[in-house]
Structure 1
Amino acid sequence: MVSQLKTQGHRTLFAYIDMDNLKIINDRYSHDEGDFSLKLIGEILVDIVQEEGITGRIGGDEYAGVLKYEKEDHGRDFRNRIHQAFQDFNRTSEKAYNVTVSVEMYLMEAEEDLTLHDALSHADASLYEAKKNRVKSVAKNFDHNN
């Protein structure tokens, strides 16, 4: 797919997505809830990527995506759509916890000559830095007085 996009002159967005706080959900709410969260992430990513590329779980709580990306925003719209989907789910879900992800990307221009591994490594390195600042709380604050 990557070589096809390059041949056709398209920019390619490589995304690395990591679930936040899987261990906390597993320990506090059960492994069934952790499994639910992992499946939810996959479903949301497939829904967002659709025909523009491919996405999937690459191991543990990590996912990757590769898609044609013609916008000039360096992937911000893609990241925002992912975060919005999780905000929508968390707002309407009756789960006692929030499901969140960290997303980092690398946007490869058509003329760049990187392998899939190299491009995902760039995105993963950015994700590692971003994860240092993540919130380590998953519990929802239910306010029944409103």
Structure 2
Amino acid sequence: ERSKYLIDHASELIYRTDERGNLIFVNTACVEILGFSQEELVGRHYLSLVKQEAREATEKDYVRQFVKKIPNAYVEIPVIAKDGREIWLGQNSQLVLEENRVVGFQAIARDITEDKREIEELENLSLTDDLTGLYNRRGFLTLAEQQLKHAQRSDEQLVLVFADLDGLKQINDRFGHQEGSNAIMRAAQILKETFRESDIVARLGGDEFTVLATVASNDRADIIKIRLEQKLKSFNARHDQPYNLSMSIGVVLLDPRNKLSIDDLIRKADAAMYEHKQQAKEKVSR
């Protein structure tokens, strides 16, 4: 009885679905924030509440969680209230298992619409890199500090990736600076394809890139590095160019309880990237 009272009077949206994704329970906050009655919500598929343009990406996130049996995952999704308003939810979803079989998921979500508005306002400032369209150093540091604070409040796990485009000087010297710029733009595109739209992808300057991303609680640094390396390999196989794109990559998983600044974390990721670069050189010299 006490737990039922706490769930029903929580300020967060709490709901549960069956294995097909249909809502079978919603708490009072779901009704109050979304504007639908309990009868209108129960029985609906959760995707019907998600903004049309975000449904495919949202479904992919949940399918990945189901297939890999990731116990807890954090996503940010835009939903449409009954009155047509767009509401952003920061949501932790947990699989519901019976005899090791997934029978649905339950979620606790918080209205982060105001946080998103603040980010949009920041994005309207001069925060992007002219060549690639990614965030520039100023944009990254501004948004990353805010994302880090948000992660500390919501206990999310983040990952910081530092990537250095290998051989840019040689590309410039051999093929000209225009081709060097093309290589930078291709590297930026690979990073955008590897990470989600909600992740903060930036070019810090020259051949240096960085990414701050939200990850599942059981993701490992080496898995993220492998994912990026596979994207590079796939890109090189698909494109006929006189050189292969290669990146030295450093990855640091962030504990939200750690009070390090973004600058400190970049230094740690940079050190990990330098170690990766040295290991690659040692392999070549053997």
Could you state the TM-score of these two structures normalised by the residue count of structure 2? Answer: 0.45
Identity %: 27
Give the total of aligned pairs: 135
Other-structure match for 1:138:
none
Query: Whose relative contact order is higher, 1 or 2, with alpha carbons under 8 Å and at least 6 apart?
Result: 1
Alignment of 1:99 onto 2:245: yes
After TM superposition, give the deviation of residue 52 of structure 1 in Å.
Answer: 4.3
Other-structure match for 1:61:
207
1:1-146 equivalent positions in 2, closer than 5 A: 1-134=147-280
Tell me how far apart the structure 2 counterparts of residues 92 and 69 of structure 1 sit (CA, whole Å): 28
Other-structure match for 1:140:
none
Tell me how far apart the structure 2 counterparts of residues 92 and 129 of structure 1 sit (CA, whole Å): 29
After TM superposition, give the deviation of residue 40 of structure 1 in Å.
Answer: 0.8
Structure showing greater radius of gyration is 2
From the two aligned structures, give the one with the greater strand fraction: 2
After TM superposition, give the deviation of residue 21 of structure 1 in Å.
Answer: 0.6
Tell me how far apart the structure 1 counterparts of residues 149 and 243 of structure 2 sit (CA, whole Å): 40
After TM superposition, give the deviation of residue 71 of structure 1 in Å.
Answer: 4.3
RMSD over aligned Cα atoms: 1.4
Would you identify which runs of 4 or more consecutive aligned residues in structure 1 move more than 6 Å? none
Q: 1:77 to 1:71 in 2, by over 3 A?
A: farther
Tell me how far apart the structure 2 counterparts of residues 89 and 29 of structure 1 sit (CA, whole Å): 19
Other-structure match for 1:141:
none
Could you state the TM-score of these two structures normalised by the residue count of structure 1? Answer: 0.85
Aligned-partner SS, 1:50: coil
Tell me how far apart the structure 1 counterparts of residues 270 and 222 of structure 2 sit (CA, whole Å): 16
Q: 5+ unaligned residues in a row in structure 1: which ranges? A: 136-146
